[in-house]
Chain A
Amino acid sequence: MMDEAGLTDLADDAVALAIRSGAEKCDVVAAETRAISVDLEKGSVKQANIATDPGVGIRTFIKGSPGFAYCTGFDRKAISSAVEMAVSLSRAGTPDHEFKDLPPLARPRKVSGLFDQGLSDVSPDDVVRMVIEMADIAGDHKKVSSANASAGVAVCHVALSNSNGFSGSQRLTSMDMVVEAVARDGEAMFSGYDGCSSRRLEPDAIGRISRTAREQAVKGLSQTKLPTGDYPVIIDPLALGFILSTAIGSGANADSVQRGRSYLAGKLGQPVAASEVVMTDDPTVGWATGSTSFDGEGVPAAPLVLVDGGVLVSYLHDSYTSGKESRPSTGNASRGGGAWSFRGAPMISTSNLVVSSGDSSFEEMVRETKEGVYLRGTWDYPNLATGEFSGLMMESYLITNGELGPALKQATLGIGMVDMMSRVDMLGGSRRTYFGVTAPHVRISCARVGGSG
């Protein structure tokens, strides 16, 4: 792989070429990622993949009009062509006086926990061993008919330079593991899922996620129905992570807010969650896959409080949206999570969204719920314009008299996002990370559940 110095030279040279070619402002990302992944199906190793992905992405501005082009590989002629293309695309677009500037020159923050030598040294054989261990644990039950697992590791070297003089580079490692157990009992069938992402090897996670997948698969075989009504709902970090990654990740996007497209527009300084809730976007969390020493435009990484004591206190900004408001960027221009990509212009995103924890255990939440629902998984997201969430509870369980019961068949959840966050009446004490969101279990005092009973 090309080292950081070589990538920095390429990026610096491309910036200079873009300016000579007529760009008024420019940033360039040069990256090379080496990825190994292995898929295991029904207990048998199915496929091993290796990919090396080098390339350069160039973004230029002329009178505020953005142009972006990328090329694969590091051939100087190809980079020159991509630079010329980006400049010509800037010329083809419309001037935008609301673009003020790229971020001012700053030094990248020193963030520990971005690169793990152990993960960097992982071989394809090591990854094969990981998926086999996952499948062996997940499949270790007489009712589990199939265990599927996949694991991937990536090493990314990346350099970013811009026309304001920023020149930074970093080495990143990342690892993803996903395991699924499918259980059968006569006609009944259910699957359990769990996963883990990190910037370092997490050997303990293999057992944890594989046992969870197995247990959830078997637990879900027993199913029941629920009549439509209003119920308290305990939300698992898995479901909460998926919902908040969009509800906050996109809902607090300053570009959507400024254009009046988000349900959070006009709510700065107002309560949007229960007073115990604090949400922080933190790119400096050690070993978290969204961590970085600078954002995709060269802003040094720093934690950003979004919701404090239930009050919305900030949106997520990049150079464009911050320029519109004559304020500094919050450093939320993203070029990818685990590994950076050269294939697109930066987009506003959270890095690692962290939700505050409370002091309740999951067991206490269940015990204190007379009749309610435990939502473990959903793949739905809210309507960002209205903040209304209406979707399927793909994996959910009935709670009766403080005890966790069978899985719910065909149950839906309907609630506005601000209501959901404001009705949090119990916060869990321990947290898990899914989809870039670190969150505890939370209990919502009341939500509309559409049932099939």
Chain B
Amino acid sequence: MEDLASKAIDHAVSHGAEFADLRLESYRGTNIVVMDGRTKTVSAALPTGCGIRAFIGGAWGFAVTNDVSPSSLSAAAESAVKMAKVAQQRTKVKFKIDLAKAERAVEKYKCAVRPSDVRTEDKVAFAANLDKSMRSADPRIVSTNARYDDFEGERVVANSFGTLVRTTEAWTLASCSAWAKSDDIVQRGHSACGSVGGYELMRTEEATMLGETAAAQAIRLLDSKPVPAGRRVCVLDNKMTGLLAHEAIGHACEADAILAGGSVLEGRLGQKVAAPEVTLVDDPTIESTFGHFSYDWEGVRARRRVLIGEGVLTEFLHNLETSSRMGVEPNGSSRAHTYGSPPLVRMSNTFIAPGDWGRDELIEDTKDGILFQGSQYGYVEPSKGQFMFKCDEAYEIRSGEVGQRYRDASLSGVILDVLNSVTGVADDFTTGDPGYCGKNYQDARVTDGGPHIRLADVVVGGLA
């Protein structure tokens, strides 16, 4: 693969590319879904392909081929150059890609049990057991979904600076959803675990207990009430803190959004954007997480990035282009969904660092508020400066005690306000659930996390 990659890069340069890079991939994946005791999906993917980029004078051309023969790669390289020339004719912003260190590496992520060494029948049995554990947990569980995914593949990243990085990676992911019904009320609970690594993760207690966890949550929510809407003091659990870190700040720190004029953090580097208790980090180097990687999809060595240090905005997430245009070193934040997509600036494992408060102390100190637990989903528009995320379950806090359970609570805020409203950071750091972050129709595997934190005044959305 390396030889093919190098020749394709040389071909792009010989046709006029000032800079060229590619991602040549071959992988296999499995997806199993068991619904209500029967397999709904057992599928496999066996793709191979290559995406090549050519850069000329401030514009990129990108071409994709599923055929990795030398002739097809050469044709794709020529197409990429041709597309760059088309774009470059109408480019107003001229810049260059600064010479970056040429990396040569062969990376193999830890994987004790390769997914391809496990029989499909055993993977089906694993998912079926998860499904069964939900249905047997409580007679009020009326429908169940157990899902298993794995990925195993090789990626070669090469560029015209001489970088040639081969990465062999595997990851596994399992998730459960349970629907509980009582009278006319239906509620859903869910759980997930996943990490870079092999099938060994599916043999841990965390994985085998996913069904019970999802079922218990669905049952709990049956006696929940709609949350009252309005401004409230909110305590976020570890998963919600992670979602806040990712949605409210992480996306606004992506340097491509800054350069596009689409982030409210533009021009605020070095400024105070959060309470001094807040340190926010994005770190792809943490092994055994779903967001782990050691070299990014441009072949840049990944490193820990402190985006906010003690309340001050310290760094953005960069790829080769944004670091060149902003005059800083690239920090390994470029990722592509597959070879078929051009790389974008992305997060990895994003979290708020632990503070001094005890978790119980934080709640006991709250007279009137809402405790948000578990993350469902969230999104942000950095150009509007607003974000929203939704929890799995919420609880009233009154006089420091946790009371009434609520459902479908959402929390929204303004990027530049929310971290300044942090009034307490607990010491109980954990990572959150694995998940996929969507951007420009591309998914990236990520994890987030943090400790419990308290926000002084945010808008809670609800039906009551």
Contacts and interface: CB of A to CB of B under 8 A. Distances in A.
Contacts of B63: 49-51
Interface string A291-319: 00000000000000000000000000000
B226 A190 contact: no
A95 B38 CA distance: 7
Given A394-B381, A414-B229, A48 B60 contact: yes
Interface in B132-157: 142-143
B42 A55 contact: no
Contact of A450 (B58, B229, B340): B229
A66 B39 contact: yes
B134 to A, nearest CB: 13
B259 interface: yes
Interface residues of A, number: 85
B261 A47 contact: no
Interface residues of B, number: 86
Contacts of B187: 385-386
A70 B31 CA distance: 12
Nearest to A64: B38
A66 B40 contact: yes
Nearest to A69: B44
Given A50-B64, A68-B41, A145-B261, A189 B410 contact: no
Contacts of B38: 93-96, 98
Contacts of B460: 412, 450
Interface stretch (A162-170, A199-207, A259-267, A425-433): A259-267
B106 interface: no
A45 B87 contact: yes
Contacts of B459: 410-412, 450-452
Contacts of B93: 41-42, 44
Given A69-B43, A450-B462, A49 B412 contact: no
A146 B260 contact: yes
A221 to B, nearest CB: 11
Interface stretch (A7-15, A71-79, A106-114, A280-288): A71-79
Nearest to B87: A48
Contact of B181 (A98, A148, A189, A260): A260
A182 B79 CA distance: 32
A54 interface: yes
Interface stretch (A22-30, A124-132, A360-368): A124-132
Interface stretch (B3-11, B269-277, B385-393, B419-427): B385-393
Interface string B157-188: 00000000000000000000001010001111
Contact of B186 (A94, A125, A385): A385
Nearest to B184: A266
Given A45-B59, A345-B41, A448-B464, A390 B390 contact: yes
Contacts of B230: 228, 450-451
A306 B271 CA distance: 54
B262 A182 contact: yes
A117 B34 CA distance: 43
Nearest to A144: B261
B44 A85 contact: yes
A78 B47 CA distance: 10
B431 interface: no
Given A50-B79, A390-B409, A394-B386, A410 B414 contact: yes
Interface of A: 38, 41-55, 65-73, 78, 81-82, 85-86, 88-90, 92-96, 98, 124-125, 128, 132, 145-146, 148, 180, 182, 189-191, 220, 228, 259-261, 263, 265, 343-345, 379-380, 383, 385-386, 388, 390-392, 394-395, 409-416, 448-452
21 contacts: A47-B87, A48-B86, A67-B43, A68-B42, A70-B45, A71-B46, A72-B48, A93-B124, A148-B261, A191-B383, A379-B379, A379-B388, A380-B388, A386-B187, A388-B226, A390-B227, A390-B410, A410-B386, A410-B414, A412-B229, A414-B226
